[in-house]
């Protein structure tokens, strides 16, 4: 799974990269841009390579038309060393909260021998040639691949640059390079005791040959990697200066509120806009095939204008779409459809026939919205000679390509200014909202910022698919599975994502990931997939395939363990003889969580385990289920082996956030559709976990020198199964459908009981007051 080192994946140094002409070639495709670090000090001429155009034109009115041409050292796509001032790192992955600016900067810094406070980071412009990521094979951020993909190439890039700087200094001092070393942005000579800052070498270094396959540091030699360094993107996020896509300001920009046809696939039939145009501040009303936009000086006027529109939609038959029908259809397809094989190991049918006992179950998972904290938005300026797009995207080249296609112009004419992302979770891997914004913006001469209301954002999200899975196991005499079969039925995310689609009969590996390979040794396995694309668009969602499949497999293995009266941790451990890394995290999580120690009534612990994204993660969840069916999270304990950690604190943060993100969905979320329309709209009906529902969470990280695994999504994958297993332990109720159905967890007769804490049920709270004697929790 790890990117081959040496392959020019990222902009790994190549001699031609250093020639001005080739840089021009690269950079013509997508102009150099500056992200938050520079925006915070807009106007400052930042490091730019010769020939690279400045991109701040549109962001800083009256700013220098062309920043001083960059005269420093620009080895490849990632590093810009000026003769004075800070070094700039061009970070290939998008920052959406996972700390990747810091992590990738650490990889570069480690080998370049600089400290993080000597550098600034900027997001990479769209340029597949320079920034295509080796695992995803495109310039995109997702699938917990960033650190894994960058691990080799970025360190190589840093090491090569360092080697060249040392060589340049050695040449100047007339000493052998191996008498020199680099540290904190300077080259030192052991022989003569002299030193030079990198900045002083930027001219000399250009004539140095580019080294190939520089040996990289061994784990014991790391100065930065493995340390919890402070993140580089956070200071601006605590003082309000960080610029997310939604915060972009461009001169002459107008702001649009939009309404999209309530039923996906429908179109606008007619619009009466007189009322909207009369709203003060409204400047335009625009329409495209399936949406309208009211443009105004500010969003409020636009939104008020939108409310004044009289819109008639043509649902074009899509009003027949409902989640009920979709699930009935999935069930039918599961039972009658033609499966595509995901993985076959051994003879599953025979093993099933020979098994000592059999367990089987059906699991159902709902459509899910991303509900990123930052609602979808795009700012577009379509000019006669091209187009500028300011947006936070996980896939800059996809945005560029989609916009170019919409406008019928070459991609080079589309400049994508990538921004910080207020939550990606997969939502911002697709460019459909950008295309829509471009369709509106091409109708007007001014830059147009399109902001979706939360309601539009949720209703017109592209959802994680719903699934209907039939899983079965044959158990041996010792109770352990001798065979596992899983028939997965659902839509193809990859098919929806790829511009070319996925041909029928082809396996979408995402659909089976997490079920096809489990951490366990099971002699016979058959995992197959019936493709049934729903009548609505689907998309990646945090945790991708494993977030769906691991819930099913790990819940089901719990069922198997209970069916033979075995402890769920012991049962799993017995299947992990060949997987020491997984066994270790399972043991750590169980021990730290006090697995097996007594708990109060209706309280239980559940465990989940998986190997996804190159990491091994065990989670123990402890819940209490009240008589009314309320599920209270009491404690979460995770143990992860993700190989070499780059920034342990970021790993911990990703696991904490990822687990809770998964809990939020498992507890509360399902997108449902009636008459073609999404029924959820905002946080009042698409509920999110809040701080008062959040339990203490511990993350134990196993020290390891294996190559790094992905962590951004691992926690999300663990959440639902650990939760469902804990609920079973607490109540004996097995929930095979998400989200958690509180109603099924209610004690008998609880429906007839008044739901109130004793103090209030007794009356008026006066008693409670007398008991507590205090005057307000904060008095």
Partner 1 sequence: MKGSRLKRFGLIALIVASLLLVAAIAFFAWPAKLEAVAPSPGQPTGRALVEKGRYLATAADCVACHSTPNGEPFAGGLAFKLPFGTIYSSNITPDPKNGIGAWSDAEFVRAVRHGVRNDGQQLYPAFPYTAYTHMSTDDVLAIRAYLNTLRPVNQAVAVNQLSFPFNQRYLMRAWKLLFMPKQPLRPDPNQSAEWNRGAYLVEGAGHCAECHTPRNLLFGLKSGQKFAGATTQGWKAYNLTSDPETGIGDWSVDELTRYLATGHTPGRGAAAGSMGEAVSLSLSRLTPQDLRAMAVYLKTIPAKPGTPGSKINPNPPLMTASTAFAPVRAEVGPDAMGLRIFEGACASCHGWDGSGLHSPYGALRGAQTVNDPEATNLVQVILHGSEISTPQGGASMPSFGRAYNDAEIAAVANYVLGHFGGKAATVTPERVAKARREGE
Partner 2 sequence: MTTILINGEAREVDVPPDMPLLWVLRDVVGLTGTKFGCGIAQCGACTVHVDGKPARSCVLPVSAVGNRNVTTVEAVGGTEIGRKVQEAWLDVEVVQCGYCQSGQIMSAAALLGRNPAPDDAAIDAAMSGNICRCATYPRIRAAIKRAAGLPAETV
- List residues binding partner 1 (CB under 8 A): 624, 626, 628-630, 632, 668, 679-680, 682, 684-687, 690, 692-693, 742-743, 746, 750-766, 768-769, 771-772, 774-779
Q: For residues 97 and 721, which CB has a smaller minimum distance to ligand FES in the complex?
A: 97
Listing DSSP states for 273-330 in one string gives -HHHHTSTTEEEEEEETTEEEEEESSHHHHHHHHHH-EEEEE-TTGGG--HHHHHHHH
CB of 423 to ligand FES, least distance (A): 5
Q: For residues 300 and 771, which CB has a smaller minimum distance to partner 1 in the complex?
A: 771
Helix axes 146-173, 100-112, angle to 10 degrees: 30
Peptide bond into 14 cis (omega under 30): no
Chain centroid, CA 222 distance in Å? 28
Consecutive H or E run containing 617 = strand 615-625
CB of 740 to partner 2, least distance (A): 17
Let me know: does 122 contact 40? Beta carbons within 8 Å. no
Let me know: does 117 contact 160? Beta carbons within 8 Å. no
Q: For residues 455 and 698, which CB has a smaller minimum distance to partner 1 in the complex?
A: 455
Q: For residues 242 and 389, which CB has a smaller minimum distance to ligand FES in the complex?
A: 242
Q: For residues 569 and 655, which CB has a smaller minimum distance to ligand FES in the complex?
A: 655
Interaction partner, residue 742 (partner 2, partner 1, ligand FES, none; CB < 5-8 Å by kind): partner 1
User: 3-class DSSP state for residue 259?
Assistant: strand
Question: Which of residues 423, 447, 629, 662 is near ligand FES by CB under 6 A?
Answer: 423
Interaction partner, residue 222 (partner 1, ligand FES, partner 2, none; CB < 5-8 Å by kind): none
User: 3-class DSSP state for residue 174?
Assistant: coil
Distance between CA atoms of 5 and 727, rounded to whole angstroms?
45
Interaction partner, residue 577 (partner 2, partner 1, ligand FES, none; CB < 5-8 Å by kind): none
Q: Is 176 in the site for ligand FES (CB under 6 A)?
A: no
Question: Which of residues 68, 289, 477, 683 is near partner 2 by CB under 8 A?
Answer: 683
Dihedral over alpha carbons 298, 299, 304, 310 (to 10 degrees): 110
CB of 695 to partner 2, least distance (A): 8
Binding map of ligand FES across residues 336-375, x = CB under 6 A, - = no contact = -------------------------------------x--
Angstrom CA distances, 496 to 402, 430, 463, 508, 537, stand at 15, 10, 11, 11, 7
Tell me how long the chain is.
779
Q: Is 392 in the site for ligand FES (CB under 6 A)?
A: no
For the record, the structure tokens of 129 come out as 């040639």
CB of 91 to ligand FES, least distance (A): 18
Consecutive H or E run containing 57 = none
Interaction partner, residue 328 (partner 1, partner 2, ligand FES, none; CB < 5-8 Å by kind): none
Binding map of partner 2 across residues 337-376, x = CB under 8 A, - = no contact = ----------------------------------xxxxx-
Task: Report the site for partner 2 in 386-425 (rule: CB under 8 A).
Answer: 420-425
Q: Is 234 in the site for ligand FES (CB under 6 A)?
A: no
Interaction partner, residue 753 (ligand FES, partner 2, partner 1, none; CB < 5-8 Å by kind): partner 1
Binding map of partner 2 across residues 278-307, x = CB under 8 A, - = no contact = --xx---------------xxxxx------
Question: Which of residues 66, 115, 203, 241 is near partner 2 by CB under 8 A?
Answer: 241
Give the per-residue SS3 of 682-728. CCCCCCCCCHHHCCCEEEEECCCCCCCCCCCCHHHHHHHHHHHHHHH
Pairing state between β 87-91 and 119-123: parallel
Question: Interior CA angle at 750 toward 745 and 751, to 5°?
Answer: 100
Question: Which of residues 80, 148, 162, 231 is near partner 2 by CB under 8 A?
Answer: 231
CB of 239 to partner 2, least distance (A): 6
Distance between CA atoms of 192 and 524, rounded to whole angstroms?
67
Q: Is 688 in the site for partner 2 (CB under 8 A)?
A: yes
Taken in order 289, 295, 299, 300, the sign of the CA dihedral is negative
CB of 715 to partner 1, least distance (A): 22
Distance between CA atoms of 741 and 738, rounded to whole angstroms?
7
Task: Report the site for ligand FES in 85-104 (rule: CB under 6 A).
Answer: 97
Distance between CA atoms of 652 and 638, rounded to whole angstroms?
9
Q: Is 246 in the site for partner 2 (CB under 8 A)?
A: yes
Distance between CA atoms of 334 and 680, rounded to whole angstroms?
27
Alpha helices (H) in 377-453, listed in sequence order: 396-407, 432-441
CB of 32 to ligand FES, least distance (A): 28
Let me know: does 535 contact 318? Beta carbons within 8 Å. yes
Which residues contact partner 2 (rule: CB under 8 A)? 96-99, 228, 230-231, 233-235, 237-244, 246-247, 249, 255, 280-281, 297-301, 371-375, 420-425, 451, 453-454, 649-650, 653, 656-657, 659-661, 664, 682-684, 688-692, 694, 696-699, 777-778
Which residues contact ligand FES (rule: CB under 6 A)? 97, 373, 423
């Amino acid at each position: 799974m790890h990117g081959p080192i040496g392959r020019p994946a990222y902009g790994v140094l190549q001699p031609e990269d250093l020639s001005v002409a080739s840089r021009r070639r690269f950079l013509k495709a997508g102009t150099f841009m500056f992200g938050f670090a520079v925006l915070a000090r807009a106007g400052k001429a930042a490091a730019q390579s010769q020939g690279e155009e400045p991109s701040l034109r549109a962001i800083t009115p009256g700013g220098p038309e062309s920043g001083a041409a960059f005269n420093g050292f620009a080895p490849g796509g990632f590093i810009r060393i000026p003769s004075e001032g800070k070094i700039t790192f061009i970070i290939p992955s998008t920052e959406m909260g996972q700390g990747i600016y810091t992590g990738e900067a650490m990889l570069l810094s480690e080998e370049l021998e600089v400290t993080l406070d000597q550098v600034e980071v900027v997001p990479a412009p769209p340029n597949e040639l320079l920034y295509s990521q080796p695992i995803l094979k495109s310039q995109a951020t997702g699938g917990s691949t960033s650190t894994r993909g960058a691990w080799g190439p970025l360190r190589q890039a840093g090491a090569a640059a360092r080697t060249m700087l040392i060589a340049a200094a050695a040449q100047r001092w007339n000493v052998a390079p191996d008498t020199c070393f680099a540290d904190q942005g300077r080259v030192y000579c052991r022989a003569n005791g002299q030193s030079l800052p990198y900045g002083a070498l930027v001219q000399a270094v250009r004539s140095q040959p580019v080294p190939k396959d520089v040996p990289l540091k061994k784990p014991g030699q790391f100065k930065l990697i493995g340390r919890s360094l402070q993140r580089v993107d956070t200071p601006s996020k605590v003082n309000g200066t960080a610029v997310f896509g939604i915060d972009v300001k461009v001169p002459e920009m107008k702001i649009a509120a939009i309404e999209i046809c309530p039923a996906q696939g429908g179109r606008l039939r007619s619009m009466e806009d007189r009322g909207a145009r009369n709203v003060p501040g409204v400047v335009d009303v625009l329409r495209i095939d399936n949406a309208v936009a009211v443009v105004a000086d500010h969003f409020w006027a636009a939104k008020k204008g939108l409310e004044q529109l009289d819109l008639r939609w043509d649902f074009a038959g899509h009003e027949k779409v409902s989640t009920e029908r979709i699930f009935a259809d999935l069930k039918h397809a599961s039972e009658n459809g033609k499966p595509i094989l995901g993985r076959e190991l051994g003879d599953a049918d025979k093993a099933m026939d020979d098994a000592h006992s059999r367990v089987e179950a059906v699991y159902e998972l709902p459509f899910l919205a991303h509900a990123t904290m930052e609602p979808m938005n795009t700012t577009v300026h379509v000019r006669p000679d091209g187009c500028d797009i300011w947006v936070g995207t996980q896939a800059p080249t996809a945005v560029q390509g989609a916009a170019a296609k919409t406008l019928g112009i070459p991609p080079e004419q589309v400049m994508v200014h990538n921004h910080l992302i207020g939550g990606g979770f997969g939502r911002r891997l697709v460019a459909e909202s950008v295309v829509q914004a471009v369709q509106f913006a091409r109708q007007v001469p001014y830059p147009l910022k399109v902001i979706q209301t939360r309601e539009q954002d949720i209703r017109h999200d592209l959802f994680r698919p719903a699934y209907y899975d039939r899983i079965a196991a044959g158990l041996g005499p010792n109770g352990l599975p001798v065979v596992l079969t899983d028939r997965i039925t659902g839509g193809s995310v990859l098919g929806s994502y790829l511009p070319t689609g996925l041909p029928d009969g082809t396996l979408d590996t995402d659909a089976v990931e997490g079920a096809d390979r489990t951490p366990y040794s099971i002699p016979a396995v058959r995992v197959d997939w019936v493709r049934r694309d729903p009548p609505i668009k689907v998309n990646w969602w945090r945790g991708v395939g494993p977030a769906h499949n691991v819930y099913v497999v790990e819940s089901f293995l719990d069922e198997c363990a209970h069916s033979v009266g075995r402890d769920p941790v012991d049962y799993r451990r017995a299947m992990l003889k060949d997987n020491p890394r997984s066994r270790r995290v399972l043991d750590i999580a169980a021990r730290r969580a006090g697995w097996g120690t007594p708990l109060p009534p209706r309280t239980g612990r559940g465990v989940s385990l998986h190997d996804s994204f190159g990491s091994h993660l065990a989670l123990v969840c402890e819940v209490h289920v009240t008589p009314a069916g309320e599920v209270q999270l009491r404690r979460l304990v995770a143990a992860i082996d993700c190989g070499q950690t780059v920034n342990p604190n970021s790993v911990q943060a990703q696991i904490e956030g990822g687990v809770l993100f998964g809990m939020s969905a498992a507890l509360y979320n399902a997108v449902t559709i009636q008459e073609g329309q999404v029924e959820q709209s905002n946080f009042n009906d698409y509920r999110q976990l809040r701080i008062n529902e959040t339990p203490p969470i511990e993350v134990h990280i196993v020290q390891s020198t294996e190559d790094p695994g992905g962590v951004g999504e691992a926690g999300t994958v663990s959440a639902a199964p650990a939760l469902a297993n804990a609920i079973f332990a607490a109540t004996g109720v097995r929930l095979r459908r998400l989200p958690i159905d509180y109603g099924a967890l209610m004690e008998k007769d609880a429906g007839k009981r008044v739901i109130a804490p004793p103090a209030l049920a007794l009356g008026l709270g006066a008693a409670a007051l007398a008991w507590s004697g205090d005057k307000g929790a904060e008095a």
